Structures are given as structure tokens and as C-alpha cells.
Amino acid sequence: MARIQAFLPSSGATLLSGRDAVREVSLPMIRALEDFSDDLGDSELEDAVSSVFRPGGWLEEVLEFDYRSEQEEMAQAVCRSLAAGDNLLFEAGTGVGKSLAYLVPSILFSKARKRPCVIATNTISLQEQLLDKDVPALRLLLDGIPELSKWSDFRCALLVGRANYLCSTRLNRAMVGQSDLFEGAQREELRRIAEWAGSEAGEGIRQELSPVPPAVVWDAVNADSSVCSNKRCSPDTCFYRKARAEVDKADLVIVNHSLLFSLMGAGFGPAEDEDGVIFANDFVVFDEAHEMPEVASEHLGLSLSSWAIEMSIRKIYNPRKRKGLLAKSGRSTDLDAVEDAELAVSDFFHHLHVNSLGKKDRVRLLEKGTLPLELFPPLSRLCRCLVEVAEGTEDESLRLELKDQAKRLQGYLNSLSEIVDLKDEKSVYWLERTGKKNQIIHLRSAPLDISEVLRERLFSRQASVVMTSATLTRKGKADSFKAMVGLESVREGIVNSPFDYQSNMQIRILGDCPEPAEQNRSPYQKCLAEAVHACSSAIQGGTLALFTNYADLRHCFQCLRPRWDKLGRSIYAQGEGFSRTELRKRLLEEGDALLLGAESFWKGFDAKGPSLSQLIITRLPFENPGHPLMEAKTEILSKEGKSSFMELFLPSAVIRFRQGMGRLIRSRTDVGELVILDSRILKKRYGRSFLNELPKKDYEVFTSDEAFHLPD
């Protein structure tokens, strides 16, 4: 299922308590709250939230936070929606303080109504902010409010997939059976995990161990197995069971979008006759809600990779190394079945690589039965062998491991069958290559209309769903977002950022950059590299340049690295040796670096201060029209007589554009320059849709001759 991590105040905590932090509490506030009971009525709940966020309220009194009218408005909107059982869509600009605006009414509602609250985020950085900053602040705030202090001991939990957890039972079994399952280097990794588990492990999560263990070793010791169960594991000895034990006690559960939609797709949740989305009678807050359509589409479809199937078969038995689950218990016929399955898998994916994909990295599947079927009999036979061996062994742990592998293979067969036959008319199916060497092949599907799925599985569950983000609307309206996610009945609200963009931001647009989509891209790439260099080298602080594809990013990196070496300043690029976390750290520490980023850097990247003094948007962020899902949606819109550009591509590009711009000004004191290098924003008719979203309306247009000279 999932993992729960509880965050509770320790008995020996030395943090300044909320009561000690209160300098002088006004009597009217105490009188307003003194009659509150554990079961707050709707009006009492609103009064409590008002007492926190109003001018001179508890937020100022206890935590000394500045009053923000936008934050008060949002908190009251969340409170009213929860009390009425309604859905809420609320756009709040950067700096509003969204987290506390939904956390305060959510935890009061959760405690008063005894209903769990699920907070869904899309980035690790926001999860860390919630757990390390906002939740402790909320606890301190409640502790400083008379009559609400009894709720400051609310339980907060982080929900992650169970495969992230170490299972002590499986670890002990793996240590005993090392010779059957692991070779030299893998045995060393196993010993390292065991040493970590015995002394340094905090929550027993794979990511806590550095370096992260290889997948083949971790897969043998994680909690995603029938071996890890209440019968064999206990909270006293198993990290996962210890975490699971907290789930029923949690008032506040934090989860990422991916896991929430994966659980939803797997049918996890309350019974049909119960309310709630993930837990019985829960309610959900989606932060970074603009990501919901994309993440839901990805995780409510199918995804099957050559790497996953090959690794599963090797775990069962590797004939070249004579290792695996069947190393001792397998009959000769079983080992033959493994070899046959391995060859069939190899032939199948080789066919996809050469015949189906050819020179393309992504191909849409349009006709049933076009993929070879020779894979099915060998995999089915191997499934039967695993079940037979499992039933004949006296080793209970081995029996469960073998049955798990049989279930996994059967799952692969079911997914392959659906993809080969294109069984769901409401889904799109395709093949694609991934991996550093482009050797991993994925078979994927996604719902054509995610709104229909979300309407059924999320919005019809009789649980309030609150959706918030800084970028949910276009021209002040959320029609596009509501259509994408299937929202029909919803309260709406919008507040702007309290930041002074007029004074703190300068906007410049390059007016003569060549078209990026021309067949001969050399003039465009030359201009792009020169523009990025001229703009970023002209300022003292740091620069983040956002790209829409890795080809242009790598071209600029290769062109500019020697020149930045001569300047004595650093240039970094996504995908060139450092993680996103390390890149952010270096940008902050050095203060004058140039960072080239794509994809994830458009959203959730937070670097305050002069280390990010300039943001360069190299190109308007339109999605790839050749992606199978976009192709299929375009076809549907065309049949309906609608423009896919206006209905699909432009709205999503505008949202991503707004997300990108939001990386620059992250606090009231931040100042910076926004540079847009895509001249289509000035020349094309649709450019007005992007200009309308600029944080300030005045901007400067400059030319390449003014800023730099293009090389011949």
C-alpha cells in the first residue's frame, strides 16, 4: 500500500512553546474562543479561522507573521468550502502564504469533525517545506491559542510507496540466502544496507541511504512483498510496519500527486458505500493543482518497460550467474522455462526496437494485433512453474516470494494483452525509448479524457476537494483547467501576489530572434547562445535560463562553457552531472553562476536573493504536438470542429509560461530581470495571450544589434 511517517512533538522538546511566544493576548480574542468545544459548529469554525488571519489576529500575535489580506481571504474560502462539503478552486499568487491558508482551516476541520485531511503536492521541495516549516509553525500557532492549544498535538504523516521502505524480515532472509541471490558487489551493498539499518537508518527509506542502493538489491529487501505482512513483521522490528501503524492515527496526511493517482488507479480507497478519496471520510487539498491533469493522465494509464520485465526474470533465475529464487528449488523444466521466457522477452523488445520504432523515439499504436504475440506462451508457462514450485516448497518466505513474482508476471501479461489489443477505446497507446543510451523501451497508455476519469473517481466521492496554485487561470478565468479535470460544481476564488512587481521586476524582450521551428535551426541556435551569454554575463548575480528541449540546452552549454571559464564564472546545465538539488545549492552558494534548466526547472524551483537575479525564458513553452496523446486529442477536437491550438496547446503553454516567470521573484525583497528571447510573443497573434500574463504591463524591446553581435 503506502508508507506513513508520523511527526509528533517529542516529550523532551526544547522548542519555544506557543504560549511562551505570546507577548500579550487581547481579551476579546480569548472571549471569542472560550466557548469552543471539540465539535466546532460552522460559524464557530469560521470565527476561529478569522481570529487567526485577521489584522492583529493570532498569526501576528503568536508567530509575528505579517498580516496579508490575500491569505485571510483564501483561508476563509477554504473554511467555508470544507464546512459546506463543496469543492474549491483557488488561485493564489506567489507570496500569499497558501500553505498556512489551507492548513489552519483544514486541521481545525479535521480535528473538529474527526475526518482525516490529505494534502497532495507535486514536488519534493514543497513536501519538505510543509514538513520542516509549515507544519511545525501550525503546531506552534495552535499551542499559542487558548482553547485550541489542545489540538496542537495533531498527528501529521507522510505517505510514500511501500517499495521505498526497508523490510527487516526480507533483509534477514536475503542475508541468509546471499549465495543464491547475489554476486560479489551486490553482497557488499546488502551488508551496507544491513549496517545502515542497524545503526543509522531513521525512517528506513531508500533515499536516506547515500549512495542509493542499486535497484536489483533494494528490490529484494523492500517492503513491497507478501513476506512483509502483519504475520511476520511488527512495528517494533519493521520500518514499514512501524510507519503503517501510524496511518489510522493521522489527522493530516501528506502525499505526492503521483502516489495518490496511482492508488486511485489501483482501486485503493474507501468502499463504494463510504465517502472519501483515499481514506474513509477524508477530504483532499491539492497544492500545485495545475499539475493534476498531467500527473493523473500519466498514473491512471499503463506503463510497462523492457527493463522491469528483464529484471523480474533475472531475479527468478539468472542462468549465466546461477543466481535467483530458483537457484536451489527449481527443477530443470523450471530453469528451461526461465530461459525460454528470457529469450522471448529479448526477441519481443528487439522487434519493437527495430521494426516498430525504427529511427523514431516514440510511436503511437493505432491498430490491434500489430505487435508480435510469441511472448505470451513462454511468460504464461513461467508463471505456472513459479506457482508449482511455490506450492511444493516448505520455505514459507520463498513460497511467498515466488508467488509474488508469479503475480508480477501475470500483471505484465495482462498489461501486454491490453496494449496489443488496444482494449480501451478511451485510451491512447504508444511505444517509446528512454534511458541514457535510449535502450529501454516502454509500452504506455493514457486516458484520452482525464476529466471523465477524475469526475468519476475523485469528484463524485462526496469529499471536499480543494485545489490551489499560483497558476490555475487564464485571463482571470479557470475554464480551461476545470474542463481538463472534469470540474462541474466548484467554488472559485483568486487573489494576486502581494509582491511589488512594478518596482522589483524589469522585463526585456528580444524582438528579432529567428523563428525556433525553422528547418535550418542554425541561425536560431546561434542567436540563442549569444543572447543567453550577453544577458547573463552582463549582470553580477546569478541567472536561470529555461529551455523547452535538451537539444537547445546542450548546444548553449557546449558553446558557452569555454567562454564562462574565461570569465571565471560557473555555468551549469541540467543533465550534465549534477542533481537538481545540487544545482540549486551551487547557484545559491556561488551567487553569480549561469544555470541552464529544462522541464522540472520551470516549476517548483525556488532560489531567493541575488543568486537568482535574472530569469531567461528562451522559448514559449508549447507542448510537443507529435506526442501520441496530443495527436489523439487533436484528432478529437478536429472532428468536433475545434482548434487544438486554441483549446489545448495555447492554454497549457500559458500556464507553464506563468510557472516559469514565477521562479524569479520569491520574496518581498527579491529584485530581478525577466528576459524573453522568443520574439513570437511580439510578432504572432497568440503572443498577446502571453503578454497579458506578465506581472507588469510595461516592458522593453531590445534587438540583437543592441545587445550583441552574431558571429558570421
Q: Which of 156, 258, 205 is nearest to 3 (CA)?
A: 205
Whether 704 and 530 have beta carbons less than 8 Å apart is answered as yes
H/E segment holding residue 411: helix 396-421
261-269: list long-range contacts, CB under 8 Å, 24+ apart: 261/295, 261/296, 261/298, 261/299, 261/300, 262/161, 262/299, 263/1, 263/2, 264/300, 264/457, 264/458, 265/299, 265/300, 268/1, 269/461
C-alpha separations of 124 from 254, 255, 258, 581, 619 in Å: 11, 10, 12, 10, 26
- CA angle 151/154/155 to nearest 5° reads 170
Residue 344: CB atoms within 10 Å: 20
pLDDT digits over 603-635, tens only? Answer: 878 898 999 999 999 999 999 898 999 999 999
pLDDT at 706: 87
Grid cell locating 621: 513553452
Torsion of CA 181, 183, 185, 191, to 10 degrees: 40
**Which residues face 569 on adjacent strands?**
none
DSSP 193-224: HHHHHHHT-SS-BGGGSSSPPPHHHHTTTBS-
Q: Which of 52, 51, 77 is nearest to 65 (CA)?
A: 52
Whether 338 and 405 have beta carbons less than 8 Å apart is answered as no
- What's 624's DSSP letter? -
Instruction: Give the number of residues written for the chain.
Output: 712
C-alpha separations of 697 from 95, 215, 653, 688 in Å: 20, 51, 19, 11
Listed in sequence order, the residues at least 6 apart from 578 whose beta carbon sits closer than 8 Å to its beta carbon are 572, 586
Give me the residues of the chain with pLDDT under 70, please. 1-40, 179, 200, 711-712
Whether 108 and 40 have beta carbons less than 8 Å apart is answered as yes
Whether 489 and 482 have beta carbons less than 8 Å apart is answered as no
Residue 16: CB atoms within 10 Å: 11
Give CA 34 to chain center in angstroms: 42
pLDDT at 28: 42
Phi/psi of residue 593, each to 5°?
-85, 160
The CA R_g of the chain, rounded to the nearest whole Å, is 28
Give CA–CA dist 149/151, Å, rounded. 5
Whether 543 and 534 have beta carbons less than 8 Å apart is answered as no
Grid cell locating 400: 511467498
Q: Which of 569, 6, 493, 473 is nearest to 248 (CA)?
A: 6
Q: What's at 550, amino acid-wise?
A: Y
pLDDT at 69: 96
Pairing of the two strands 88-92 and 491-495: parallel
Burial label for 40, CB within 10 Å (0-12, 13-18, 19+), is: buried
705-711: list long-range contacts, CB under 8 Å, 24+ apart: 707/510, 707/531, 707/534, 707/535, 708/530, 708/531, 708/533, 708/534, 709/530, 710/526, 710/527, 710/530, 711/526, 711/530
pLDDT digits over 52-88, tens only? Answer: 999 999 999 999 999 999 999 999 999 999 999 999 9
HSE-CB of 624 using CA atoms within 13 angstroms:
8
Whether 74 and 100 have beta carbons less than 8 Å apart is answered as no
* pTM: predicted TM-score of the whole model, two decimal places: 0.88
Residue 133: CB atoms within 10 Å: 12
Whether 645 and 633 have beta carbons less than 8 Å apart is answered as no
Secondary structure class of 454 (helix, strand, coil)? helix
Give CA–CA dist 145/364, Å, rounded. 58
pLDDT at 67: 95
